[in-house]
Amino acid sequence: MSDNLVTRRRALARLCTLPFIACAPRYVAAATTSFVEREDVRAFMALMQTKHGFDEARLVKALQPLTLDPQVIKLILPPKSPAQRSWKRYRSRFVEPVRIGGGIDYGSARMPLLKRAQEQYGVPPEIVVAILGVETIYGRNVGDFQTLSALATLAFNYPPRADLFRDELEALFLLAREQGADVESYVGSYAGALGPAQFLPSSWRHYGVDFDADGRVDMLNSETDILASVARYLHDSGWTADEPVAVPAQVQGDSYRKLIDAGIEPRFRLDSLQEAGVKPAKADGEDLPCALIDLTTPGQPTEFWLGYRNFYALTRYNRSSFYAMSVFQLANAVREGWDKQAKSNKGNKAAGSTRPG
């Protein structure tokens, strides 16, 4: 993945931690002002004309009806009293019966496609399925915001990340032109993410795969393209086939804290872990680069894990150790469900073969 897109993903993951209350009053004043009357929007339109050859009349037609969407601003702002971080509470939202059962059924029905994507990109079927489960419950909750309006609102009314969202607004116009679609037709999350995989427009353009070979990348309706694109995204983010994702760890003393402070990028090996009083739960673990991950729940003992390169690849989708661990554990639960199905089917076949004719 390019550094620019990694930075963009990281910025989106940090949005909920940014103080921005001081800017709120300007929203009321700007909420009824058409975007095309604004100097910054005019500058954006000029850029789209000179850089990409867009017609001014088409840009005006798309942007003229738009005004600030207060609901988008409300959702992007952090709460005034943010809840205390809790791994147990976070996990319960994603590693739960609806997503587990849904993932077992969803993946079972699409296993040949998932296997084909695995052959191409090295990402196991359960990981791809779990990404979709965490993101949208397998396409059930993709969002109902007009993407053009949401991105324009954030690009021109959210100063902390204006550059990020202007880049995404630019990518949306380019995507629509490449797809032969109306830029006004896209619908997704309040932050501009699209489809069951919640790709931003720039990610769609850079990592979308025409896996069904119909001449276009469809991240909204083609399950073939969607599943393969998720696999490619993780592959390009550093996923390595047949390497571990994460293993539980044990810590002693306080020296381990320097490993936590070093962040989630894998850079330590077994000798460094031992010096810091850290060891994997399994003594025969591979000596691969890893990071020490702490999953904290108020009032309960902290869970410690070693996150390897594949765990880090999951955090490129969303820069959160809670997110990556939820994907990993949901994937494990789905895989266990498939294994049980396979064992049950095998037992039924064996029983059937022993029945008298």
Task: Annotate 45-94 with three-state secondary structure.
Answer: HHHHHHHHCCCHHHHHHHHCCCCCCHHHHHHHCCCCCCCCCCHHHHHHHH
Helix axes 147-157, 162-179, angle to 10 degrees: 150
Q: Is 135 a catalytic residue?
A: yes
Q: In what order do the strands lie in the sheet with 303-307?
A: 278-280, 246-251, 303-307, 291-295
SS3 129: helix
Handedness of CA 64, 70, 75, 76 (dihedral sign): positive
Cα gap 156→281, rounded to integer Å:
49
Cα–Cα dist 164/132, whole Å: 24
Distance CA 237, CA 171 (A): 20
Q: What whole-number distance in Å separates Cα of residue 325 and Cα of residue 302?
A: 14
Q: Phi/psi class of residue 293: alpha, beta or left (left: φ > 0; alpha: ψ in -120 to 50)?
A: beta
- Residue that is written with structure tokens 């073969």 in the block: 353
Catalytic residue among 39, 56, 119, 135: 135
Residues forming the active site:
135
